[in-house]
């Protein structure tokens, strides 16, 4: 049994795609996702406005990573110095100025790595099954907008997307939370 | 094909993809011969290194007081090369400089492999390389740890961080392009790209996180690139040796690094764009801009040389003055003047637009830049040691075969890695070119007259 | 206990097992050699035993103490009880260890086959051959056997003579190339006695050396170096602080001259004439001492022929210089003239000079009861050689280190004569040129393996005892001789009542006991002598008077030269007459003034070189001291050698070191320079020659990068005038400093000991004994000529020589010479740069180097302002059996490791452990680093800076004005300070 239709509309420019998103937003339709070959400012603004999201949470991963790095460095440098208490060239056992360099480097290292992890985590990567309505051209030269809706809304949304400038709109029946079954 | 491109002043998204995909097409005999040649040089270097480990450093021209010479010169040279990559990919990204999009992937790749090469030299240089890991903090039963005061340990941290971060940066940028390659390729390549692209699909969610992490990585890479070469310069500046003990070293080395790096980018990209037929993506306009960076940095280091000498004169420290006297007029003074010619004089030609837009001239100048920057490090490192505080211990260094071969081998190793990458990975960033397609069109239009001429 | 396992052998086994366990580093070789000199109970693995013996490297006869570990002698020190060495020995003495462990020593007896090759034979076979030949010769008639050898001390020489008598021959020659004949002949002429005078340099105010390199090879260098250091320390004279006046008359400025006020560059061979001119000045100024008891006018007439002007023309010495020397000598409160070279006339002139100024008996002393002449007179040696040439000799035995083929004057034609002898037996340790001409080669003990006694002077009876089991299956020379006498000579066998050499020596000392200590018992006397290394008594000075006969005769100093150039040969400070050349330490340690290693060379003044068309073309990227080769044509054939251009030799003179040029004397001596003995006529060390440049090139290698100090604060000097005024001189080569030391952080607290050192540059003569001692004590590798050229010499302590710039000559010493070792800085720049803590500070202020932690980044050496760290470019090698000399207390460093001086930390720890076990505090002076111990001039003082009464602090305090640290602008706070050398302003 099929409970809903996925409208897969293709745009040739990111402007039109963005307009389509805004149109959907005005029509209070939020169950959509957009595809683009590059990070288009317009599309990203439109989507985050439609979804009412703030900026990406990856920032917090990076911040935590960085702070961890600094703390690790302090522990490592100061800790190991007092482990042996060696007089080296008459310098203090723990000479902070040189240690700052270690702290800086570890901050960068850990911040960067945790940033990468955050990015993969929030983008649900790696994911080797293609999402509903993905078309390979979306990776090349076309922009896609995939909307889920009930049977009765199809015609309204189609016209709405056409007005936004969709070149072509395909329909697919959607199994709940599933991959669209092509027929 | 080229003829068709010739007229196309409005490259489209698909044109970009086509160009890149053509570049990634399986390499012919010439390509593999070239790779084999690089591999041969690498092997040669390895044989000499093995011999050196077996017999001891005595096989080199090293001796009292020339404790550091060619190997550390190579190390600094390669680390320096790396920096322009990060400059172009990160710093210019933050500054939203448009021409970077075509060249940054190439530069970024160069960065990673240059650091990889640079990392070898501290090992080659060691007296007992089999104990190199004592420089690394690792848990051991005696709680023996490195001395974090030592600039060499800073080096270890700086270089390894730099390698990791620039690899991450390069890889993150690659993901969308790999996804693109995945769609068009077949066979084992498809599997490879599928795995490496992590199943990227370019949904708005993914792009949102992507741009954020890319921005932050760029933000990190920027201070990192500045710190790394500062740390390298402190290997010298932190000592008390006249000619090394100088506060100007950090900025001066960073500028030199970017100078030499952009030089090598030109050296690599000029033949590459011809051989891989990506002149439409990496246009004369891009090279022109790169050349301007070379010119600027050349002026900066010229200024640094002047300041360095001025400071020496200004201190009136007779020992410093004698060291510099020897650097300019000593038995190896000719090296210094060659360096000045390569780094300060010849790049001035880049003031002339017709030279900046002539690939042959650019290529030749970039070679001089590379030679000059290698000499700069040699003059500073070997020269200052040779004329130290203790006249009875003066001796000028002359390399032997081992150092020469190992240095050549390092170029083989670098070029081999770079060539393989350029063939199997998208060497130009498609996503970014599409993002800034307007600028690409602008570049093509700018370039059109030159290409007609050519 | 059963006969199977005696107590001795049991203890031997126990000890050796322990030894083997204690030192995994040393091979079974260590197992063979356990000393029998003392009962085995004394061998405790890991604990050194010390045996007193005597040095045989030159006739000075210094006493030694040998440090023996697990049966191997590993280090030689001077014998503190011995009045000559007084606890320190020279580089040659240190290196005699390498004579003992020389890899080229003859292991087994060898016989020369028809084809000239050597075949190994068994001992009994060899001795049979030896004795048969002797017997046959004795059959053939009287005096058919000749013996030529170095003197081995009174007792053994007597044994030799008796052995020869037993075979009915008297052709006996004890041969020393650098002989005593001129001195003895002169003494005979002047004072009617043939013994050698002693000099008391410390009693003099003026010293003038007429070609005597008394700090290098002349007479008794260790003793004279010590005395000279005393002489040069400023002292109150005539109510003021003064510096002894010293002048060196010679064509070449050696390290002896470098320490004098005046280098009087006289033409070679005219030193005697200059002495006469000085005498002339002295007498004409009426500076003749009343109590000298010589008639003034007789001396006047005698010296009349030598007025300064004539001599000035002959010798090239300015007249006013001669007058100045005269004034210095005549007006001095105690003066001494030291004659050198081979020309008796120089000696006579000097003796008279000393006599008429009343210094005989004061600075130049003859002793009662001087020992008999050990060395045979040249004319007698010549008669022996004549007999050999005339075929009156069937057997020639050459023994005991004398190397006549190498060292005899060419005119004597010894090598040719030897060819005519049917049987030549050579008995020695390392085969030399003479061995190459022998038919039978018998390996005999090295001096350190055998019994002997020495009589260097009246009142000094040295006892040489073996300090270890023989390294090779060799036999004691005189054991072989005694045995052969007993076998061969039937009736006359009774002439040698002893079984072997040790009996002979023992018997001799029983007699001595009767003479010296009648109240003691023979055994007690003998044991005491063995403990002390001999018996030392004060000898009474003899009353001598200058005979009038000598004043009647006319002196004809030898005409200097017949040729455009003069070749002046000087004995190399390390090779002496050539016997040192097969010791790698002596080859590797640079000659103090030329700083050249592993070679022979020709020193030329830039002007002379320019005449020959040679320019200083080697001041570039390699450590070369010379590269152009000249051919020098002498009456006795051409010499080809590389030129070292230096301002330290008189124009027109070519100075060449004696001692190299061995054709067969082991691997270290092979193919280096020329053997000058083969060109020098008897009785002189200079020759008229011609020279021309050849196209050949030959690198003279030196570890010395630049001979110019550039006015930096490395070796500082101050004038005696400034010292009196209390002014500390400015060093123009240094940046202006204020408020050094700068402390950024809380200074590190050194509770307990804090080690420091002070080096008195004014005492240092550059003799390099410290360097040799350091090589021996610290297992320092020898790198060889090629590696030294690449700057890879390993010495932890080096003697640096800087030549003053032209503008400094008026206000500075003739040369700047000082030893430089790790300065043990408190702010050690080498430490913070090491990534692995291999270089870090000990709690006692030492800058320690942890060899097994070092990974070889070499960053430390880059940051060391003094460049005293050394890197192992290769793994060091010690050809067997040199490895037996290695000190078990010091690690042998492998390739890729940085090494350096740590004040002989092994000695410090040993002393601290002893103190702790004996539950007491360390005593100041208990710890002496090898360099300080070896220094004959006592220039180096080591001690605890936390001990207010330590000698080192006292020495610094007593010389506040002269105390300085090198290169202060580095603010490294060295714990080694130097005391500025003193000089006298040129008027």
The residues, ordered by sequence, that sit 6+ positions from B65 with a Cβ below 8 Å of its Cβ are B385, B386, B388, B390, B393, B394, B395, C705, C791, C861, C862, C867
Number of domains in chain A: 2
Q: Do A29 and A74 lie in a common domain?
A: no
pLDDT at position C558 is 60
A47 in the same domain as A72: no
Decide: C229 and C938 in contact? Cβ < 8 Å: yes
Q: How far apart are CA B251 and CA B237, in angstroms?
A: 12
Question: What are the tens digits of pLDDT across the range C541-562?
Answer: 998 888 888 888 877 656 556 6
Residues A100 and A140 in one domain: no
My answer on whether A18 and A47 are in the same domain is yes
Closest by CA position to B298, among listed B368, B383, B227: B368
Which chain C residues have a beta carbon less than 8 Å from that of A87?
748, 840-841, 843
Reading the block at residue B35, the tokens are: 């790779």
Q: What is the CATH number of the domain that holds B68?
A: 1.20.1630.10
Same domain, A39 and A65: no
Contact A130 B201 (CB under 8 A): yes
Domain that holds residue A77: 58-122
Whole-number Å distance between alpha carbons of C101 and C73: 10
Interface of C with B in 694-733 (CB under 8 A): 703-712, 714, 732-733
Do A31 and A63 lie in one domain? The reply is: no
- Would you tell me which residues 154-183 of chain B have a C-beta closer than 8 angstroms to some C-beta of chain C? 156
pLDDT at B59 over 60: yes
Are the CB atoms for C863 and C827 separated by under 8 Å? Answer: no
Identify the pLDDT of residue C231: 94
Number of inter-chain CB pairs under 8 A, B vs C: 190
For position C648, what pLDDT does the model report?
93
B3 within domain boundaries: no
Q: How confident is the model at residue B125 (pLDDT cuts 50, 70, 90)?
A: very high
Domain-located, residue A180: no
Given this model, what pLDDT does residue C402 score? 86
Task: Return the pLDDT at B54.
Answer: 94
Question: Do A95 and A117 belong to one domain?
Answer: yes
* 8 Å CB contact of B200 and A125: yes
In a domain, B167, yes or no: yes
Domain presence at residue B18:
yes
Q: Which of B65, B61, B129, B128 shows the shortest CA–CA distance to C895?
A: B128
* Closest residue by Cα to residue C96 from C448, C476, C533, C467: C448
Q: Single out the residue of C405, C426, C425, C428 nearest to residue C417, CA to CA.
A: C405
Nearest to A107 by CA among A58, A73, A60: A73
Average pLDDT, chain A: 85
In chain A, % of residues over pLDDT 90: 25
> Which has the closest alpha carbon to C713: C532, C932, C969, C884?
C969
| A 103-162 residues with CB < 8 A to C | none
Phi and psi angles of residue C723, each rounded to the nearest 5 degrees, phi first: -60, -45
Contact B219, A112 (CB under 8 A): no
Both tokens of C895, joined, read: 């390739």
- Flag whether B440 is in a domain: yes
Kindly state whether residue B5 falls inside one of the protein's structural domains: no
From the candidates A13, A38, A41, A59, which should be mutated to test the interface with B, based on the most B CB atoms within 10 A? A38
Phi, psi of C113 (to 5 degrees): -80, 175
pLDDT of residue B452: 61
Reported residue count of chain C is 987
CA atoms of C184 and C342, how far apart (whole Å): 11
Phi, psi of C608 (to 5 degrees): -55, -45
Residues of chain B in contact with residue A44, where contact means CB-CB under 8 angstroms, are 204, 207-208, 211
Residue A151 belongs to some domain of the structure: yes
Q: Is C760 exposed, middle or buried (0-12, 13-18, 19+ CB in 10 A)?
A: buried
Q: Which domain holds residue B33?
A: 11-453
Clarify whether residues A41 and A71 are in a common domain.
Answer: no
Tens-place pLDDT, residues B356-392: 989 999 999 999 999 999 999 999 999 999 999 999 9
R_g (Cα) of chain C, nearest Å: 28
Give the per-residue pLDDT at C45. 75
Q: What number is the average pLDDT over the span A137-151?
A: 85
Give domain status of residue A182, yes or no: no
Beta carbons within 8 Å of B345's beta carbon, 6+ residues apart = none
Determine contact, residues C496/C99, Cβ cutoff 8 Å: no
Residue B1 belongs to some domain of the structure? no
Q: Which residues of C touch A91 (CB under 8 A)?
A: 745, 832
Nearest chain C residue to B237, by CA: C863
pLDDT at C773: 96
What's the rounded Cα separation, in Å, for the pair B108 and B218? Answer: 12
Give dist(CA C934, CA C575) in Å, integer.
Answer: 18
Task: Give pLDDT, residue B1.
Answer: 37
CB contact under 8 A, B13 and A113: no
Assess if residue B223 is contained within a domain.
yes
Query: Does A181 map to a domain?
Result: no
Residues in chain C where the model's pLDDT stays below 70: 1-43, 488-494, 556-562, 617-622, 735-741, 987
Among candidates B144, B332, B392 on the partner chain, residue whose Cβ is nearest the Cβ of C704:
B392
pLDDT reported for residue C622? 67
Residue where a domain terminates, one of A102, A122, A142? A122
Neighboring chain B residues of C788 at a CB cutoff of 8 Å: none
Residue C888: Cβ-neighbour burial (10 angstroms; 0-12, 13-18, 19+): buried
pLDDT of A181 reads 37
Q: How far is C706 from chain A (nearest CA, A)?
A: 29
Distance, C-alpha C478 to centroid of its chain:
27
Say if A148 falls within a structural domain.
Answer: yes
Domain count, chain B: 1
- Quote ipTM for the complex: 0.90
Higher pLDDT, C445 or A138: C445
Nearest neighbour of C835 by CB, restricted to B55, B153, B389:
B153
Residue B114, in any domain of the structure: yes
CA dist C76 to B176, C87, C264, C530, C931, Å? 78, 10, 37, 16, 12
Domain edge (last residue) among A122, A144, A164: A122
Report CA-CA distances (Å) from C293 to C188, C280, C357, C418, C544.
18, 18, 10, 50, 10
Could you tell me the strand order of the sheet in which A168-173 lies? A32-35, A143-149, A5-11, A168-173
| A88/C832 Cβ within 8 A | yes
The answer on pLDDT for A157 being more than 90 is: no
pLDDT for C31 equals 40
Same domain, A137 and A116: no
């004394």: which residue's tokens? Answer: C42
Which band of pLDDT confidence, cut at 50, 70 and 90, is reported for residue A155? confident
> Do A89 and C837 make contact, defined as CB atoms within 8 angstroms?
no
Residue A180 is predicted with a pLDDT of: 42
Mutate to test the interface with B, among A94, A101, A134, A147 (most CBs of B within 10 A): A101
Query: Touching check for B233 and chain A: CB below 8 Å?
Result: no
Rg (CA), chain B: 23
């Amino acid at each position: 049994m099929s409970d809903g239709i996925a409208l897969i509309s293709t745009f040739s420019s990111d402007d039109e795609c963005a307009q389509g998103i805004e149109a959907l937003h005005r029509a209070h339709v939020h169950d959509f996702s957009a595809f683009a070959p590059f990070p288009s400012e317009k599309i990203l603004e439109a989507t985050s406005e439609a979804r009412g999201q703030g900026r990406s949470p990856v920032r917090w991963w990076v911040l935590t990573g960085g702070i961890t790095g600094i703390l690790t460095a302090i522990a490592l440098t100061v800790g190991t110095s007092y482990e042996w208490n060696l007089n080296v060239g008459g310098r203090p056992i723990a000479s902070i100025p040189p240690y700052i360099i270690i702290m800086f480097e570890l901050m960068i290292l850990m911040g960067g790595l945790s940033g990468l992890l955050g990015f993969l985590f929030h983008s649900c990567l790696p994911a080797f099954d293609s999402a509903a309505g993905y078309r390979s051209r979306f990776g090349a030269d076309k922009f896609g907008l995939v909307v889920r809706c009930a049977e009765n809304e199809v015609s309204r949304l189609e016209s709405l997307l056409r007005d936004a400038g969709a070149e072509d709109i395909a329909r697919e029946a959607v199994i709940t939370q599933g991959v669209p079954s092509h027929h | 094909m080229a003829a068709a491109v010739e007229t196309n002043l409005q490259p489209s998204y698909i044109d970009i993809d086509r160009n890149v995909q053509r570049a990634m097409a399986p390499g012919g005999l010439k390509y593999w011969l070239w790779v084999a040649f690089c591999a041969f040089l690498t092997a040669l270097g390895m044989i000499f290194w093995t011999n050196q480990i077996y017999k001891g450093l005595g096989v080199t021209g090293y001796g009292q007081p020339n404790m550091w010479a060619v190997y550390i010169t190579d190390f600094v040279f390669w680390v320096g090369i790396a920096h322009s990559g990060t400059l172009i990919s990160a710093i210019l990204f933050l500054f939203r400089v448009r021409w970077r999009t075509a060249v940054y992937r190439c530069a970024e790749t160069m960065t990673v492999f240059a650091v990889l090469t640079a990392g070898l030299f501290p090992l080659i240089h060691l007296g007992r390389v089999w104990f190199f890991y004592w420089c690394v903090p690792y848990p051991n039963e005696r709680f023996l740890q490195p001395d974090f005061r030592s600039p060499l340990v800073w080096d270890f941290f700086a270089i390894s961080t730099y390698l990791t971060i620039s690899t991450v940066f390069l890889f993150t940028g690659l993901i969308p392009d790999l996804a693109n390659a995945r769609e068009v390729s077949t066979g084992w390549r498809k599997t490879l790209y599928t795995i490496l692209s992590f199943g990227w699909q370019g949904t708005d969610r993914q792009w949102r996180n992507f741009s954020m992490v890319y921005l932050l990585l760029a933000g990190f890479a920027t201070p990192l690139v500045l710190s790394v070469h500062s740390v390298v310069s402190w290997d010298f500046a932190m000592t008390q040796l006249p000619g090394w003990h100088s506060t100007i070293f950090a900025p001066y080395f960073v500028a030199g690094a970017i100078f030499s790096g952009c030089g090598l980018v030109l050296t690599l990209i000029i033949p590459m764009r011809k051989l891989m037929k990506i002149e439409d993506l990496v246009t004369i306009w891009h090279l022109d801009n790169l050349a301007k960076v070379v010119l600027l940095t050349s002026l900066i280091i010229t200024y640094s040389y002047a300041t360095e000498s001025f400071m020496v004169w200004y201190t009136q420290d007779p020992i410093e003055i004698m060291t510099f006297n020897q650097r300019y007029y000593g038995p190896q003074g000719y090296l210094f003047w060659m360096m000045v010619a390569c780094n300060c004089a010849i790049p001035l030609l880049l003031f002339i637009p017709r030279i900046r837009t002539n690939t042959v001239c650019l290529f030749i100048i970039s070679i001089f830049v590379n030679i000059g920057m290698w000499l700069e490090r040699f003059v500073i490192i070997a020269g200052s040691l040779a004329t130290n505080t203790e006249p009875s211990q003066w001796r000028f260094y002359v390399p032997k075969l081992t150092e020469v071969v190992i240095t050549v081998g390092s170029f083989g190793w670098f070029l081999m890695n770079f060539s393989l990458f350029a063939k199997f990975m998208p060497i130009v960033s498609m996503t970014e070119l599409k993002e800034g397609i307007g600028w690409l069109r602008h570049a093509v239009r700018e370039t059109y007259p030159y290409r007609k001429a050519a | 206990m059963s006969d199977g396992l005696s107590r001795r052998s049991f203890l031997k086994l126990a000890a050796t097992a322990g030894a083997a366990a204690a030192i995994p580093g040393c091979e079974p070789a260590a197992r063979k050699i356990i000393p029998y000199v003392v009962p085995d109970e004394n061998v405790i693995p890991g604990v050194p035993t010390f045996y007193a013996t005597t040095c045989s490297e030159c006739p000075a006869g210094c006493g030694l103490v040998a440090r023996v570990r697990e049966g191997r002698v590993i280090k030689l020190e001077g014998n503190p009880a011995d009045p000559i060495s007084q606890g320190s020995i020279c580089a040659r003495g240190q290196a005699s260890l390498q004579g003992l462990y020389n890899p080229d020593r003859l292991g087994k007896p060898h016989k020369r086959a028809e084809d000239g090759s050597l075949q190994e034979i068994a001992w009994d076979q060899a001795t049979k051959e030896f004795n048969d030949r002797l017997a046959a010769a004795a059959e053939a008639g009287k005096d058919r056997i000749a013996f030529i050898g170095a003197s081995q001390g009174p007792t053994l020489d007597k044994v030799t003579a008796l052995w020869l008598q037993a075979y009915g021959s008297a052709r006996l020659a004890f041969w020393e190339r650098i002989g005593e004949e001129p001195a003895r002949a002169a003494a005979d002429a002047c004072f009617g006695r043939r013994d050698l005078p002693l000099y008391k340099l410390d009693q003099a105010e003026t010293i003038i050396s007429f070609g005597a390199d008394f700090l290098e090879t002349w007479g008794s260098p260790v003793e004279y170096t010590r005395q000279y250091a005393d002489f040069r320390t400023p002292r109150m004279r005539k109510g003021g602080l003064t510096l002894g006046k010293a002048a060196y008359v010679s064509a070449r400025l050696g390290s002896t001259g470098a320490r004098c006020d005046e280098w009087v560059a006289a033409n070679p061979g005219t030193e005697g004439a200059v002495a006469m001119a000085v005498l002339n000045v002295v007498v004409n100024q009426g500076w003749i001492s009343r109590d000298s008891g010589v008639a003034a006018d007789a001396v006047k007439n005698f010296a009349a022929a030598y007025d300064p002007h004539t001599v000035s023309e002959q010798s090239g010495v300015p007249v006013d210089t001669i007058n100045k020397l005269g004034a210095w000598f005549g007006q001095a409160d105690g003066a001494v003239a030291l004659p050198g070279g081979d020309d008796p006339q120089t000696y006579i002139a000097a003796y008279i000079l000393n006599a008429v100024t009343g210094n005989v008996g004061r600075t130049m002393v003859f002793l009662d009861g001087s020992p008999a002449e050990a060395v045979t007179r040249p004319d007698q040696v010549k008669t022996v050689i004549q007999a050999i040439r005339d075929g009156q000799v069937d057997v020639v035995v050459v023994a005991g280190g004398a190397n006549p083929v190498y060292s005899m004057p060419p005119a004597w034609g010894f090598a040719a004569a030897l060819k005519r002898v049917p049987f030549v037996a050579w008995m020695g340790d390392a085969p030399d040129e003479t061995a190459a001409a022998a038919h039978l080669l018998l390996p005999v003990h090295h001096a350190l393996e055998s019994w002997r006694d020495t009589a260097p002077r009246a009142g000094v009876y040295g006892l040489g005892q073996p300090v270890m089991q023989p390294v090779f299956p060799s036999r004691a020379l005189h054991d072989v001789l005694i045995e052969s006498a007993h076998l061969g000579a039937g009736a006359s066998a009774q002439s040698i009542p002893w079984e072997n050499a040790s009996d002979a020596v023992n018997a001799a000392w029983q007699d001595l006991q009767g003479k010296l200590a009648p109240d003691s018992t023979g055994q007690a006397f003998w044991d005491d002598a063995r403990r002390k290394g001999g018996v030392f008594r004060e000898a009474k000075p003899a009353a001598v008077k200058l005979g009038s006969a000598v004043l009647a005769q006319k002196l004809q100093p030898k005409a200097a030269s017949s040729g455009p150039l003069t070749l002046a040969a000087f004995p190399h400070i390390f090779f002496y007459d050539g016997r040192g050349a097969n010791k790698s330490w002596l080859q590797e340690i640079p000659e103090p003034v030329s700083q050249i290693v592993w070679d022979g060379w020709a020193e030329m003044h830039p002007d002379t070189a320019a005449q020959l068309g040679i320019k200083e073309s080697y001041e570039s990227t390699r450590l070369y001291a010379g590269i152009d080769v000249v051919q020098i044509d002498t009456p006795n054939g051409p010499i080809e050698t590389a030129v070292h251009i230096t301002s330290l030799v008189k124009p027109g003179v070519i100075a060449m070191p004696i001692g190299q040029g061995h054709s067969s004397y082991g691997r270290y001596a092979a193919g280096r320079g020329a053997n000058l003995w083969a060109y020098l006529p008897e009785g002189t060390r200079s020759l008229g020659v011609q020279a021309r440049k050849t196209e050949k090139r030959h690198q003279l290698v030196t570890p010395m990068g630049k001979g110019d100090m550039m006015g930096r604060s490395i070796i500082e000097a101050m004038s005696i005038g400034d010292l009196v005024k209390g002014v500390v001189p400015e060093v123009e080569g240094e940046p202006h400093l204020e408020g050094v030391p700068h402390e950024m952080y809380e200074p590190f607290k050194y509770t307990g000991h804090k080690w420091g050192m002070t080096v008195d540059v004014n005492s240092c003569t550059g003799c390099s004994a410290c360097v040799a001692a350091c090589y021996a004590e610290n297992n320092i590798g020898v790198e060889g000529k090629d590696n030294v050229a690449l700057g890879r010499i390993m010495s932890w302590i080096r003697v640096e020589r800087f030549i003053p710039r032209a503008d400094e000559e008026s206000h500075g010493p003739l040369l700047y010479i000082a030893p430089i070792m790790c300065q043990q800085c408190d702010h050690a720049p080498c430490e913070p740069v090491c990534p692995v803590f291999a270089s870090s500070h000990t709690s006692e202020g030492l800058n320690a180097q942890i060899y097994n932690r070092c990974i070889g980044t070499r960053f430390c050496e880059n940051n060391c302002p003094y460049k005293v760290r050394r890197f192992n470019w290769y793994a060091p090698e010690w050809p067997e059996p040199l490895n037996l000399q290695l000190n078990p207390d010091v690690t042998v460093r492998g390739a890729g490791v940085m090494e350096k001086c740590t004040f002989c930390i092994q000695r410090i720890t040993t002393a601290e452990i002893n103190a702790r076990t004996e539950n007491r505090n360390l005593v100041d002076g208990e710890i002496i680093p090898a360099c300080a111990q070896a220094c004959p001039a006592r220039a180096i003082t080591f001690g605890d800076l936390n001990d207010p009464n330590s000698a080192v602090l006292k020495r610094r305090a007593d010389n506040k004005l002269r105390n300085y640290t090198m290169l202060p602008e580095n603010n490294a706070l060295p714990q080694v300070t130097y005391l500025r050398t003193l000089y006298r302003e040129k008027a």
